[in-house]
Chain A
Amino acid sequence: MKSNSKALSAPYTIWMTVFIVLPMLLVGYFALTDRAGNFTLENLLSVGQYSNVFLRSIWLGALATLISLLLGYPLAYIISKMSVKRQSMMVMLVMLPMWMNFLLRTYAWMSLLEDNGLINAALAAVGLPRVHMINTAGAVVLGMVYNYIPYMILPLYSVLTKIDQNVIEAAQDLGANDRKVFLKVVLPMSMPGVISGVTMVFVPAVSTFIISKMLGGGGNLLIGDLIDMQFLGSAYNPNLGSAISLVLMVIILICMGIMNQFDDGENVGGGVMI
């Protein structure tokens, strides 16, 4: 039986080795060598000059995550209180945009936000001054929130629906008004969902490049763009690109480690889904 299950897992093990472990090792190899293949720390040391890009990425990613959380939590809470039928309809509506191509959706925002885009045209039509929106940090954050908020809502929703109505009634019974029920029972019990939601929004937001490229113009370079440039762009330098990737990975790991400190491990009902 045991050898049997081992055999069954073999394809996945091979897949993981070839497409996850090996590339990671390659990233490490490139990061620690120069173009001639000699060992060097030059790449890693030169990552420091891009610290402003790192800070901007983390700042914009964190901002987008916070906004997603503040918008997503109430929505997930409201959905979890609906009748079962309406719940599944609402969840579908949340996921619906994800069925559309990511690039297409971001292009759509471009045409909305442009100086001569739909929003400005509408503003001009009613006699209001035009607002410059495209190629700003705000547009990048908007793009991140728009694209990644479903990943915040879904884990929150899944945790919130699992909270036993009896437990909420028990809190009311013991003297908690609606505000206290939320603060003392619902919020702490939904922390696993908050943590997985934050993880699932923050990680892709920090490393995105297409959103900043399309909505942020040239002035809002993010780490993703930087890496993109090292591999496909004018500044072709895969060794530096690998080094930046490696540093980014470490930063994200540290962020996740800090996040998980909030989860004391005693909570029931894991927040991870999908």
Chain B
Amino acid sequence: MSRAGLCVNNIRHATKFWRGPPRRRKGDASELENTIISLKDIAVSFDGEQVLKSFNLDIRDGEFVTLLGPSGCGKTTVLRTIGGFITPDSGEVFFNGKKINDLPPHKRAVNTIFQKYALFPHLNVYDNIAFGMRLKGKSEKEVKQTVHEMLAMVNLTGYSHRGIGQLSGGQQQRVAIARALANEPKVLLLDEPLGALDLKLRKDMQVELKKIQQQTGITFLFVTHDQEEALSMSDTVVVMDGGVIQQIGTPTDIYNEPKNAFVADFIGESNILDGLMLEDYTVKFAGHKFKCLDSDFGKNKPVDVVIRPEDIDVVEPDSTHITGDVTNVTFKGVHYEIIVDVAGFKWMIQSTDCREVGERIGLSLGPDDIHVMEKSEYSGTFGDYSTFSDEMEEDINASEEASEEEEGAADEI
């Protein structure tokens, strides 16, 4: 099977037929203002357990929005609320300014790509994609044309008469995308659609999905727990935890200006230290004063300080304030991950220079390497890298997947 990148032309071709909103250009203010979905004060609970709490979110037409958070944070619930599969306990769901709380799923102009694709096993690829159009009473001629355009778009030309059971996971995924897009939805909801694919295919599909989104101009609401996926695909990232939005922003904002320790830890690697904002542009942590670019915290205010591992320069010990002993070095391909013990606090540094375990090194920070955040409920939850090991990371991932499975099973009941 040919890979994702090859089908750009197919997408352009298919777009001619497209009657959806035009492709969004950056800086087009009038379009950016156009809110298509608005959630106001949504609360959802299952069996007395609060899953979403006073949840507010506006999604603009044509945007690629990602809901990012650990499993159980309520992101899928947001999607199902918009899709119409969950009726919120309180709050309002607006679609193009109209309240749609009581509208059943089949009457909503949104389509969903489900976690496990949920293709119809008794129908072949063609009939799966034609399903929605036939329900809308389109002529078979129209159906045929659209199905072939959709198949071309997802690079599955020639697969129309295959049974679903004969397709690989990646192909089923593409059929699910084609089936949803054939309905010409205003908004496409994607519930961890790439979760079941292997890494290489996943990366290809990320690129492909992003291209489809840009070409068709459809609003995408994408749910994932993979922070890298969220950063590389989205216009806007919504970081969630515990049913509450932690931060909304562009990928660069989220990464460079995390609002609290949770966001800083969840998006990328972070060294999070206790600090004291002495005055504007001066922060004290790790026993030293540093110049920084942050202000308006007040004087002598306790804060959390975030330093990204790749921003730290490794220098000779006598040329800087912070020195420590290397305790662990892991080769990561592009860089080395170096754990340094600085007076009991273990820092992570990503550097292209290799250092030996036991070596004494200095860490150098510039003002723009330091990001200051207000203290939050998450302060202190994410400590240093003293317990860090790759193995543990894997364990955490594994248990996360396991709990996700449970979540899925619970949904089915």
Contact = CB atoms under 8 A, between A and B. Distances in A.
Interface of A: 83-84, 164-167, 169-177, 180, 184-185, 188-189, 191, 266-268
A84 B410 CA distance: 12
Given A165-B412, A176-B106, A185 B114 contact: no
B116 A166 contact: yes
Given A167-B120, A172-B106, A173-B110, 14 more contacts: A164-B118, A166-B114, A166-B115, A169-B114, A170-B112, A170-B114, A170-B120, A171-B131, A172-B85, A175-B106, A175-B183, A185-B122, A266-B163, A267-B122
Contacts, number: 81
A128 B116 CA distance: 60
Given A165-B412, A175-B132, A185 B120 contact: yes
21 contacts: A83-B413, A84-B413, A164-B118, A166-B114, A167-B120, A169-B105, A169-B118, A172-B105, A173-B83, A173-B112, A174-B180, A175-B136, A176-B135, A177-B104, A185-B122, A189-B121, A189-B122, A191-B122, A266-B122, A266-B163, A267-B122
Contact of A165 (B112, B135, B136, B411): B411
B183 A174 contact: yes
A176 B108 CA distance: 11
Contacts of B105: 169, 172-173
A174 B134 CA distance: 10
Most chain B C-beta atoms within 10 Å of own C-beta, residue among A169, A177, A188 = A169
Contacts of B412: 164-166
Contacts of A191: 122
Contacts of B179: 174
Most chain B C-beta atoms within 10 Å of own C-beta, residue among A83, A166, A167, A267 = A166
Interface in B85-133: 85, 104-107, 110-112, 114-116, 118-122, 124, 131-132
Interface of B: 83-85, 104-107, 110-112, 114-116, 118-122, 124, 131-132, 135-136, 163, 165, 179-180, 183, 411-413
Most chain B C-beta atoms within 10 Å of own C-beta, residue among A169, A170, A176 = A170
A172 B104 contact: yes
Contacts of B183: 174-175
A16 to B, nearest CB: 32
Given A169-B105, A267-B121, A268-B121, A174 B135 contact: yes
A171 B120 contact: yes
B131 A174 contact: yes
Given A174-B179, A175-B183, A266-B163, A167 B118 contact: yes
A174 B83 CA distance: 11
Top-10 shortest CB links A-B: A174-B132, A166-B118, A170-B118, A172-B105, A175-B135, A268-B121, A188-B122, A173-B112, A175-B106, A172-B106
B121 A167 contact: yes
A83 B412 CA distance: 11
A193 to B, nearest CB: 13
Nearest to B108: A173
B93 to A, nearest CB: 15
A174 B114 CA distance: 12
A186 B85 CA distance: 18
A189 B132 CA distance: 18
Contacts of B115: 166
Given A174-B131, A174-B135, A175-B135, A169 B85 contact: yes
A189 B121 CA distance: 8
A158 B183 CA distance: 33
Most chain A C-beta atoms within 10 Å of own C-beta, residue among B112, B179, B183 = B112
Contacts of B121: 167, 189, 266-268
A170 B84 CA distance: 12
Contacts of B136: 175
Nearest to A181: B106
Contacts of A188: 122
Nearest to B109: A175
A196 to B, nearest CB: 16
Contact of B111 (A174, A176, A185, A189): A174
A226 B240 CA distance: 75
Contacts of A164: 116, 118, 412
A188 B131 CA distance: 14
Nearest to A189: B122
A167 B107 CA distance: 17
Nearest to B408: A166
A180 to B, nearest CB: 6
B350 to A, nearest CB: 40
